[in-house]
């Protein structure tokens, strides 16, 4: 629930004289989203002592789909310098519950870092993944930091954008990589919306009202570790723009390799909702098999709406 409370503010002109009062709207959220830092701190401390039971190296533009069990973690590690990795997560048992970039941005901020949570869609509306570790260090520009890494929004990986920038037909765009992975599992491509852009450096230009991509500060060995809050399917795709700013030049495009490791179960997730957090009755939205679906069919909610 959003509380939009009008507030009357009396302003003064440059000479200190009072001017007509103006009304501003203060927007605050009434939906509590507590973060148990003690729990996640303990999970993070165990990460280095937990065995990496599976490691894949992604070095092409075919993408990779990985199933991660609740309580386990995934480590995405750069092997040969900056390479933007696009990531999209779904509930492995109910793909309609997927990463929700809009709400993640509102709750966690536009840039993700340690202990940021990646939120899923309605009606469950709960975290899918939580970032445990982020080793990327942003280099200061003069006396300030110009841009940050890991924006919550992607969406720049469409086929049209890649072709328009001069990209060749032999390289799959990020959207095409995701679509190929979903189709191989019988999941609709329509679920692809916005994704996380790991290792991409972005600056928000408030004057031009646009996002600007910058050369990233990450180096070989930098990594991002994510903890699975439930059984998730994670799609990973390497950007054909490599570091985010390299434009295609007509010649063959080669990705920089990235390793993805799955570690053993670290700890049981806290579950959602947390105590005292109100939560909807999900049974209204489930079919006879206990799954949600956008397909026409009878559910408790649809029956009651008739």
pLDDT tens for 138-173 read 876 544 457 899 999 876 688 888 888 888 778 999
In a domain, 118, yes or no: yes
Share of the chain above pLDDT 70, in %: 78
- Read off the pLDDT of each residue in 211-236 and give the average, rounded to a whole number: 96
Range of the domain at 236: 36-263
In a domain, 170, yes or no: yes
pLDDT of residue 43: 96
* Number of domain units in the chain: 1
In a domain, 45, yes or no: yes
In a domain, 12, yes or no: no
In a domain, 59, yes or no: yes
In a domain, 29, yes or no: no
In a domain, 144, yes or no: yes
Both structure tokens of 283: 């049974």
Interatomic CA distance for residues 84 and 197, integer angstroms: 6
Interatomic CA distance for residues 34 and 98, integer angstroms: 21
The yes-or-no verdict on residue 187 having pLDDT over 50 is yes
Q: Which of 43-57, 125-139, 149-163, 267-281 has the lowest mean pLDDT?
A: 267-281
- Read off the pLDDT of each residue in 227-237 and give the average, rounded to a whole number: 97
Closest CA to 233 of 52, 115, 93: 93
């Amino acid at each position: 629930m959003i509380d939009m409370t009008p507030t009357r503010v009396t302003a003064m002109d440059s000479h200190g004289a009072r001017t007509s009062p103006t009304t501003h709207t203060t927007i605050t959220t009434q939906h509590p989203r507590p973060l148990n830092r003690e729990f996640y701190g303990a999970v993070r401390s165990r990460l280095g002592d937990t065995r990496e039971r599976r490691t894949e190296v992604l070095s092409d533009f075919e993408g990779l789909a990985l199933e991660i069990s609740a309580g386990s973690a995934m480590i995405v590690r750069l092997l040969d310098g900056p390479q933007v990795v696009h990531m999209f997560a779904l509930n492995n048992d109910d793909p309609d519950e997927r990463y929700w970039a809009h709400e993640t941005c509102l709750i966690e901020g536009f840039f993700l870092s340690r202990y940021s949570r990646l939120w899923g869609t309605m009606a469950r509306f709960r975290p899918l993944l939580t970032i445990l570790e982020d080793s990327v260090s942003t280099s200061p520009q003069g006396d300030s930091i110009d841009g940050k890494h890991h924006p919550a929004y992607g969406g720049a990986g469409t086929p049209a954008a890649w072709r328009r920038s001069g990209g060749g037909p032999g390289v799959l765009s990020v959207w095409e990589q995701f679509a190929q992975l979903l189709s191989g599992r019988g999941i609709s491509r329509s679920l692809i919306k916005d994704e996380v852009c790991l290792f991409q450096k972005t600056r928000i230009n408030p004057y031009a009202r646009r996002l600007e991509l910058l050369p990233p500060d990450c180096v070989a060995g930098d990594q991002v570790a994510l903890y699975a809050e439930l059984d998730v399917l994670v799609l990973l795709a390497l950007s054909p723009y490599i570091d985010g700013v390299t434009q295609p030049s007509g010649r063959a495009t080669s990705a920089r390799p990235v390793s993805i490791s799955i570690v053993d179960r670290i700890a049981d997730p806290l579950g959602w909702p947390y105590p005292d957090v109100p939560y909807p009755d999900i049974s209204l939205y489930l079919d006879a098999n206990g799954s949600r679906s956008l397909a026409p069919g009878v559910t408790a909610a649809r029956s009651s709406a008739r």
